[in-house]
A and B are shown apart, each in its own frame.
Chain A
Amino acid sequence: QVQLQESGPGLVKPSETLSLTCTVSGDSISSSNYFWGWIRQPPGKGLEWIGSVSYSGTTYSNPSLKSRVTISVDTSRTRFSLKLTSVTAADTAVYYCARRPPGFGMDVWGQGTMVTVSS
């Protein structure tokens, strides 16, 4: 059974870069025909799609965040990462990673990790 786990710093200073990793267990990012993505949720608010990477390594990102977002796949093919540059307090949120089979919604989610942007 595939499981996803987010990891990374819980506190980031304004203007710095937020870096998170999602570790995939029970599957390989490149062995299956899936998309792997990042979604965030500010405290008390709704969900926002940040971006995704395909099984072949093609990346996609939210147009509103595109200039600040980098998503990449680790050479081990069992982890993928998110980098969000020039963060502000508005980037404070729970960050989730998730899997999406083609044609489906996001069917497997990590538990989420809270990231606070503060000096």
Chain B
Amino acid sequence: DIQMTQSPSTLSASVGDRVTITCRASQSISSWLAWYQQKPGKAPKLLIYKASNLQSGVPSRFSGSGSGTEFTLTITSLQPDDFATYYCHQYISYSEGFTFGPGTKVDFK
């Protein structure tokens, strides 16, 4: 199994802050990583795919980077709508099984 970790687990921030979330894989997944945003009671929303590609319709303040085993999601200027939980997700191969990180909750400082 490929294990995913995220840090921090909780992040307290203010509107306008630059926020960075880190995701690490237990083995190389090349660039096969996605990031999702989830709000309470709602389905996850795809933000980033293939590590650094912005999904259509997602604001440009979101960006992703990394390859191999270490990845980051950055929000350049946090907006009120961005307070949510963020998950990374590796999808290198079905034979390995897909896995999600444990999530990072971004809340109000």
Contact = CB atoms under 8 A, between A and B. Distances in A.
Contacts of B91: 100, 105
B97 interface: yes
Contact of B99 (A49, A105, A110, A111): A49
Query: Is the contact region of chain A dominated by helix, strand, or loop, or is it mixed?
Result: loop
Given A52-B94, A60-B94, A63-B1, A107 B100 contact: no
B34 A104 contact: yes
B34 A47 contact: no
Contact size class for B? Answer: 20 to 34
Contacts of B95: 60
Contacts of A103: 49-50
Nearest to B96: A63
Contact of A105 (B36, B102, B103): B36
B81 to A, nearest CB: 18
Interface of A: 46-49, 52, 60, 62-64, 96, 98, 100, 103-107, 109-112
